[in-house]
Amino acid sequence: MTVVEQLPLCQRWRERRDRYRPDGERIEPSRYGVDVISDKAAAAFVAEHHYAPNVPPQVLSVGLFDAHAIGAPRLAGVCVFSVSMNQRAIPARAGQPANRGCELGRLVLLDEVPSNGESWFVSRAFRLLRQEKPHLVAVVSYSDPLPRRRSDGSLFKVGHIGTVYQALGARFVGRSSPRTLLIAHNGTVVSERSLSKLRNDERGAGYAYDQLRALGAPAIETRESGAAYVARVTSLPVFRRVAHPGNFTYVWGVGTRRERQAVAAGMPPALPYPKAA
């Protein structure tokens, strides 16, 4: 069993700032509704409220609506099912072909949603996923236990053990691969994919360059290659490297009970859930 330090509160988001609900609250089912939303609406909500404003390639996005809002029901949360960025993840973690699974790529709820709102919402999002995408039988999700701190030592993001995934009966199958993070002064992790675009002058390199500049990197020099520029700026004190032990990995089967049991039979063995200190 892995023990990780964690705040005994439920994290929420509003305008890209983290908020917290006390544990033990119960959602009022008559107040909320769940439905499929457009990729555009999901991306806009995540960009407005979550600390990681970019959304991975979407498979299906589901919204949590507050029916008690003034006027029309108002979007109070988003669950994004996304394409796995690693084609080996679904076979390795769920025992299914890559095209038979997806990832729970984003889960963002506003600070007004009670503490058990995540599990209530995601369980209904799973039903819609199976209904709208019947070829998908497995969902993988990752929980990052490593806190992020700004260069002044203040906390940017707490670590998570995946409490909501445990509440939903996910199978814990271990950690993802260890890696080294490049962290900016404000606690933001610089995407390795963005750096790769710059190194290789791929499509999106300009956007990646603008991101680095916004984080305090100097301008590229005349005739400096993308690869040389990345090597130079990532060695500057404005960025620091932090060893990451790997994210906690959870997996579900979706569908009827018999379908879930069939998927579970092909998964790696279940390991004891990580626990909070």
As to burial, measured by CB atoms within 10 angstroms (0-12 exposed, 13-18 middle, 19+ buried), residue 189 is middle
189 beta partners: 183
| Angle value at C-alpha 174, between 170 and 177, nearest 5 degrees | 130
Reported as a single tens digit per residue, the pLDDT across 46-89 is: 888 877 767 788 999 999 998 877 667 889 899 999 998 888 89
Q: What is the mean pLDDT of residues 150-169?
A: 84
227-272 pLDDT per residue, tens:
999 999 999 988 999 999 999 999 999 988 898 998 999 999 999 9
- Give the residue extent of every domain in the chain: 3-177+246-276, 182-241
Token pair in block for residue 121: 């919402």
Using CA atoms, how far apart are residues 116 and 122, in angstroms rounded to an integer? 10
Phi-psi region of 23 (alpha: psi -120 to 50; beta: other; left: phi over 0): beta
Q: How does pLDDT run across 118-142, given as a tens digit for each residue?
A: 889 999 999 999 999 999 999 999 9
What pLDDT, on a 0 to 100 scale, did the predictor assign at position 16?
65
Q: Which pLDDT score, from 0 to 100, does residue 148 have?
A: 82
- Kindly state which CATH superfamily the domain 3-177+246-276 is placed in: Gcn5-related N-acetyltransferase (GNAT) (3.40.630.30)
> Does the pLDDT of residue 150 top 50, yes or no?
yes
